[in-house]
Amino acid sequence: MITASNISKKFGKLKALDDISLTCNKGECIALIGPNGSGKTTLIKSILGMVVPDSGTIKFNGANILHSWQYRSQIGYMPQIGRYPDNMSIGDVFDMMKDIRGPQNVLDEELIHLFGLKEQMKKKMRTLSGGTRQKVSAALAFLFDPEVLVLDEPTAGLDPVASEMLKEKIIAQKRKGKLVMITSHVLSELDELVTQVIYMQEGNLQFHKTIDELHAETGENKLSKAIANVMLKTSHEKNH
Amino acid sequence: MRKIIKYVVSDILQNRIVLVYTAFLLVTAFSVFSLEDNNSKGLLSLLNITLLIVPLVSIIFSAIYIYNSAEFMELLVSQPLKRKTIWLSLFTGLAVSLSISFLIGIGIPILLFQPNKIGLIMLGTGILLTSAFVAVAMLAVVKTRDKAKGIGVAILLWLYFSILFDGIVLFMLFQFADYPLEKAMIAVTAFNPIDLSRILILLQMDVSAMMGYTGAVFKDFFGTVTGMLTSMIVLLLWSALPVWLSTRRFIKKDL
């Protein structure tokens, strides 16, 4: 569904992405992990067309996304930090997004109900707490029932109840055969979600493996331990 | 495009700074007209105040608003929208809402005290000036990533157009006092939308008679319909050109 081939991006002297190639298919739930500044967000932004890679191509359903914008109607994006114009109400934000996307047959308002946003529709964005803004971002990402979901640190700032609801929702979407990409630092909560792991470091793609492969290789059942294991191994190999 | 503009305009019109700006213009305009016994004298004072305040608020408010909308624009870019649409909607939203508050703040008093040709020309140039400075702010912002630096650039630009430009022109006039510069001055005014607006309105007033020979040359040009149309077009270019340049830049920008 999404194919990136040899994409590189430099910000000044910093290499944010270094010759990255990957393929993501339907029904997969992919975790993008790596330390801060490893290029995860840049990779996501390149897929969304916010950052234009210096070289390489990204294809969405076989079509190059460069200079194209229609393909984004099939993507739901939840940003790391959601900030909205101060004087818009929650209702305004949803209305505007519906206007932008045009008349849709299916609107998935489940998260709006679950998060109790329906009762707060008149509240202004500037009065909302960071967590509530995250809820709005999450509800927006799922609202149009997109084929691809890109979630940047989705559970950061959410309370445990809400983040559990969001996880349930992600699992349900995965079952429906959608492609989900998640970046997160909290590995423990990715355990039940992901089917594949992409590990990045300093703009390089260290590995792209399925969960089963990881488990088989490391003998660990927990994702966090498996990753730690792999990281130790790679650093060990480098030293010798 | 209309979809975004509607929401941006309603957001800005509810902004406290814009409300204060509107109220300030309204109070100033009413007090200026009530202080002067002669309404056209009042208009002259009002002209000087507007030419200082309108560009200042337009350029700085726009710059801050665009920086604060950075995350919101990222979200819009992730939607099925062209970047050009997003940027132009933002410009239109800012220009329209600041023009509305100008029309309320200055328009109502002018329609009450000076409902004539000069009053209308002043309202027209005020709107063109607002939109020109929103456009200049957008160009400054798109070229500077850092918020503090960008707002600094916006303030410097305002200082340049409001004060420094006149100083430079005056300096040149004294340096080349031996040459006939009156005609060249007309061309020079095109490089500053504030000066252009000032001359455009002043020449409609009786005080223009006191401006000497240069005033007479200016009147020959700006007093005619062609001259007025030309200067209106130049004012429009002050909006169009920065918007065009900044859109070209925004389309390629990494967010």
Number of domains in chain A: 1
* Contact list, A10 vs chain B (CB under 8 Å): none
**Distance from first CA to last CA of chain A, Å, rounded?**
39
Query: What's the pLDDT at B111?
Result: 92
- DSSP label of B211: G
Give per-residue pLDDT as tens, B55-102.
Answer: 999 999 999 999 999 989 999 999 999 999 999 999 999 999 999 999
Residues in A closer than 8 angstroms to B5, CB to CB, are: none
Q: Could you tell me the residue ranges of all domains in chain B?
A: 2-252
Q: B207 versus B17: which is more confidently predicted?
A: B17
Indicate which CATH number applies to the domain containing A197.
Answer: 3.40.50.300
Quick check: B130 pLDDT over 90?
A: yes
Other CB atoms within 10 A of residue B40 CB: 16
Q: Residue B189 burial (CB < 10 Å; 0-12/13-18/19+)? A: buried
**Worst-scoring range by mean pLDDT, A112-121, B192-201, B214-223?**
B214-223
Give the pLDDT confidence score for residue B93 in this predicted structure. 95
Average pLDDT along chain B: 91
- CB B160, CB B59: distance < 8 Å: no
Q: Name the residue among A69, A82, A137 with its Cβ closest to that of B81.
A: A69
Residues 6+ apart with CB under 8 A from A127: none
| Mean pLDDT, residues B179-195 taken together | 86
Chain A partners within 8 Å of B80 (Cβ)? 69-73, 100-101
Query: How large is the average pLDDT for residues B141-170?
Result: 93
Express the helix, strand and coil content of chain A in percent, nearest 5 each. 40, 25, 35
- Chain B residues near residue A73 by CB distance under 8 angstroms: 79-80
How does residue B199 score in pLDDT terms, banded at 50, 70 and 90? Answer: confident
Instruction: Spell out which residues of chain A touch residue B12, defining contact as CB-CB under 8 Å.
Output: 87
Rounded to two decimals, the pTM is 0.91
Task: Name the residue of chain A whose CA is nearest to B75's CA.
Answer: A79
Q: Which residues pair with A77 in a beta bridge?
A: A150
Give the burial class of B236: count Cβ atoms within 10 A of its Cβ; 0-12 exposed, 13-18 middle, 19 or more buried. Answer: middle
ipTM beyond cut 0.85: yes
A223/B30: higher pLDDT = B30
Mutation for A interface: B62, B78, B94, most A CBs within 10 A: B78
CA neighbor of B59 nearest in space, from B122, B123, B142, B153: B153
Please tell me the predicted confidence (pLDDT) of residue A203.
Answer: 87
Q: B104: number of CA atoms within 13 Å, CB side?
A: 13
CB A51 within 8 A of CB B255: yes
Parallel/antiparallel/unpaired status of strands A14-24 and A29-33: unpaired
Inter-chain residue contact B77 with A100, CB threshold 8 Å:
no
Among residues 202-241 of chain B, which lie with CB inside 8 Å of chain A? Answer: none
**Chain A residue at shortest CA distance from B81:** A69
Confirm if B172 and B33 have CB atoms less than 8 A apart: no
Dihedral sign, Cα of residue A215, residue A219, residue A224, residue A230: negative
- Structure letter (DSSP) for residue A89: B
Task: Pick the residue from chain B with its C-alpha nearest to A80.
Answer: B71
- The pLDDT, as a whole number, for residue A239 is 65
Residue B17 reports pLDDT greater than 70: yes
pLDDT the model gives residue A91: 93
- Asked whether the beta carbons of B121 and B203 are under 8 A apart, the reply is no
Contact A66, A56 (CB under 8 A): no
Q: What is the pLDDT along chain A (240 residues), one digit of tens a residue?
A: 899 999 999 988 888 898 999 999 888 999 998 888 888 889 999 999 899 899 999 999 988 988 888 899 999 999 988 889 989 999 999 999 998 888 766 788 889 999 999 999 999 999 999 899 999 999 999 999 999 999 998 888 889 999 899 999 999 999 999 999 999 877 888 888 888 999 888 888 888 888 888 888 888 878 888 888 877 777 776 666
Domain that holds residue A192: 2-239
> Are the Cβ atoms of A72 and B80 closer than 8 angstroms?
yes
Contact flag B7-A96 (C-beta cutoff 8 Å): yes
Helix residue spans in B69-116 (DSSP H):
70-77, 83-102, 108-113
Pairing assessment for the beta strands A29-33 and A204-210 based on DSSP bridges: unpaired
The strands making up A2-11's β-sheet, listed across from edge to edge, are: A14-24, A2-11, A55-60, A63-64
